[in-house]
Each structure stands twice: as C-alpha cells, then as structure tokens.
Amino acid sequence: MPTDRGDELREWSQIITATLEPTTGVEDLERAEIAIGKMRPYLNEIIEDRRRKPGDDMLSSLIAVEEQGEKLNNDELMSFVILLYIAGHETTVNLIGNSVHALLTHPLQLETMRKESCTSNMV
C-alpha cells in the first residue's frame, strides 16, 4: 500500500473496525459507510495503476489470479483489498501495542527478555 495517504487509511480503518465492537450503533455504521465511500476511490486508483503496471506484490497477484477462467470482478477485488488491509494493519498495530503493554506490566518478563542473547524464540 502506498504511504502517501497513510493517515487517512488509518482513520478509515479505525472507523470501519469500530463496527466490530458489541456496542456498535447506527451512527457507527453510518460513519463506516462514509469511510468506505472515501476509501474505495483511493483503492480503485491503486488497483487501476496495478492493472496497467503489475508489480511484484499481493495486489498484482490478486488482479492476475484466475480460477476456471474467471477473474475477480472489481467489487470482489475491492472488498478483498479492504479486508486484507484492515486485517493486516489492525492486527499488527494491536499486537505491537499489546506486546509493549504486557512487557511494561510484567517487569520480570521484560527483564528476562532484555537479558536473553537470542530473542528470536520469544515471539
């Protein structure tokens, strides 16, 4: 994903994922609909760019994928891209934040991690 509009993508992502909360109301759903309405044209530009100039990335692969002679239509592709972006971004952000919180609230674990010479198996 290009980073030129990262702040907007983050905001849209947060608005959309807020609808997954058990306390979601009509106002949250309306805000999510607006966010998706803003996100779609931006993502459509990226998709069209990859159609013209395929790269070595997941989006180019999704555009090229074919099953029994059928390719994803634009709506399917758009929905999949939104899902992948939000799922990948939100889980990474939350994992990092929760990991830092866990280490700060468990000082013995933090100290153990600091002392270990090989941290690859701590993840």
Write out pLDDT tens, residues 74-107: 888 888 888 888 888 778 888 888 889 999 999 9
pLDDT at 71: 82
Inside any domain, residue 77: yes
pLDDT at 69: 75
pLDDT at 27: 96
Where residue 69 falls (left for φ over 0; alpha for ψ -120 to 50; beta otherwise) is left
Whether the Cβ atoms of residue 12 and residue 51 lie closer than 8 Å to each other? no
Inside any domain, residue 72: yes
Q: What is the mean pLDDT of residues 63-79?
A: 81
Q: What are 33's two structure tokens? A: 């609909």
pLDDT at 107: 92
What global pTM score does this model have? 0.67
Inside any domain, residue 105: no
> pLDDT tens-digit profile of 7-52?
898 899 899 989 988 999 999 999 999 999 999 999 999 999 998 9
Percent of the chain with pLDDT over 90: 37
**119: pLDDT strictly greater than 60:** no
What are φ and ψ of residue 84, in 5° steps? -65, -45
Inside any domain, residue 14: yes
Q: What is the mean pLDDT of residues 43-67?
A: 88
Structural domains counted in the chain: 1
Inside any domain, residue 92: no
Q: What are 24's two structure tokens? A: 């979601």
Inside any domain, residue 44: yes
Domain span at residue 67 reads 6-87
pLDDT at 121: 64
Inside any domain, residue 70: yes
Inside any domain, residue 12: yes
